Structure 1
Amino acid sequence: MEICIAVCAALACTGLALVYLYMGKKCKLSGREWLIAAAACAAAAFAVFRLEQKGTDVTGMVKILWVLTLMLAAGWVDAREKIVPNQLILLGLAGRCLIYIAELLSDPSGFGMLVLRDLAGTGITLAALLLIVFISRSAMGFGDVKLLGVVSLFCGLSWTYSCFLYGLIAAALASVYLLAVKKAGRKYQIAFAPYLLAGYLITAVL
């Protein structure tokens, strides 16, 4: 458990650092935002604990935690700025390249099939999400599409589907609540990345 807490503390610090690099002096938090950040870190700690219980291997854990770091940063920035920065997407791709190198060194014979599977899954994910963007008339942003593409490249098609589904449910519930308390109109567009983060954490826990 101590290892889980240490990993998640480092993860939270990394996420905060990424956000700070992007937002600069605009990164000051209100009291409520600090509570939300603390809750997200606690949820991340529990997710890591569950992953350990499920016997996730080291490589799988590194992949999941790296994406979780990006999701924390993307969710925070999107909630405040309504944008998923390309810097985070590029950072995710750079991290995946480094992990690919490690996977190549550990299993050269299966590396080609691994890359093909990842690229095929990511291609399917991006195609499906772009279709959703077109049908929904941009109700979902391209930043969210790219973010889920990174999730697919790291974690696979099934994980991405679950992340998107749970995130969609969370966003729908939040929208209903905002409409009920009259804090948003029918045409109000919520930031989706925070709900994708929620979906990602739920997928990790279940």
Structure 2
Amino acid sequence: MLSVIFILCLLYHTYTDMKSMLLYDKVTLLLAAVGVVRAFFEHQLLEALCGAGVLLVIMLLLYFVSRGGMGEGDVKLSPALGIWLGLEQGLLCLLLAFVSGGIVGALLLLRRRGGLKQAIPFGPFLCAGAVVAYFWGIEIVTWYWRVIL
């Protein structure tokens, strides 16, 4: 049941970010609160805290380096996703979001549908990366470590 709330919040964020480039704090707070409840009952609070902290630090650094190119809603969403995904799957989520967002951005530039300054909502990429990491992240991370080692 909690997974349904996770998916519904991500779908709502995707819709609002694509429509108006906004990620609402109330939805992010609901996502974080339900994630904390889930982590508590699954005895994963430390992993949730690590995921939230690391994802927040990464996104804050990107926010300040990009001088506002990254939206505050994206920064706020990242620790909520870290609560749900933990450290490894949270990092996978960010990787998937940045790669897929980069590919879409490059395709828009190639098709001349946007300039270098055109804003592209990043929330949908974060949400898609979160869904992939949530449902298949363990398998992907396991495969990755097997290939690397």
Short-chain TM bin: 0.7 to 0.9
Of 63, 68, 71 in structure 1, the residue corresponding to residue 10 of structure 2 is 71
5+ long unaligned stretches in structure 2: 141-149
> What is the root-mean-square deviation of aligned Cα atoms in Å?
2.1
- The residue type paired with residue 54 of structure 2 is I
Secondary structure of the 1:189 match is: coil
1:165 is displaced (CA, Å) by: 0.7
1:196 is displaced (CA, Å) by: 1.5
- The residue type paired with residue 82 of structure 1 is M
Q: Percent identity?
A: 26
- The residue type paired with residue 137 of structure 1 is R
5+ long unaligned stretches in structure 1: 1-61
Q: Which has the larger radius of gyration?
A: 1
Of 117, 138, 149 in structure 1, the residue corresponding to residue 79 of structure 2 is 149
1:64 is displaced (CA, Å) by: 4.7
Between stretches 174-183 and 91-100, larger displacement belongs to 91-100
- The residue type paired with residue 90 of structure 1 is L
- The CA deviation string for residues 6-55 of structure 1, in whole angstroms up to 9 with x for no partner, is xxxxxxxxxxxxxxxxxxxxxxxxxxxxxxxxxxxxxxxxxxxxxxxxxx
Change in Cα spacing, 1:73 to 1:98, as seen in structure 2 (3 Å) is same
Secondary structure of the 2:114 match is: coil
1:93 is displaced (CA, Å) by: 2.6
Q: Counterpart in 2 of 1:196?
A: 126
> Is residue 39–residue 83 contact of structure 2 (8 Å, CA) maintained in 1?
no
Q: Counterpart in 1 of 2:22?
A: 83
Q: Counterpart in 1 of 2:33?
A: 94
- The residue type paired with residue 191 of structure 1 is P
What TM-score, normalized by structure 1, do the two folds share? 0.59
Secondary structure of the 2:67 match is: coil
> Is residue 93–residue 150 contact of structure 1 (8 Å, CA) maintained in 2?
yes
- Quote the Cα distance in structure 2 between the aligned partners of 1:138 and 1:121: 23
Q: Counterpart in 2 of 1:125?
A: 55
- Quote the Cα distance in structure 2 between the aligned partners of 1:120 and 1:74: 23
Q: Counterpart in 2 of 1:47?
A: none
Q: Counterpart in 2 of 1:182?
A: 112
Change in Cα spacing, 1:64 to 1:168, as seen in structure 2 (3 Å) is farther
- Quote the Cα distance in structure 2 between the aligned partners of 1:90 and 1:202: 21
**Count of equivalent residues:** 136
> Is residue 170–residue 198 contact of structure 1 (8 Å, CA) maintained in 2?
no
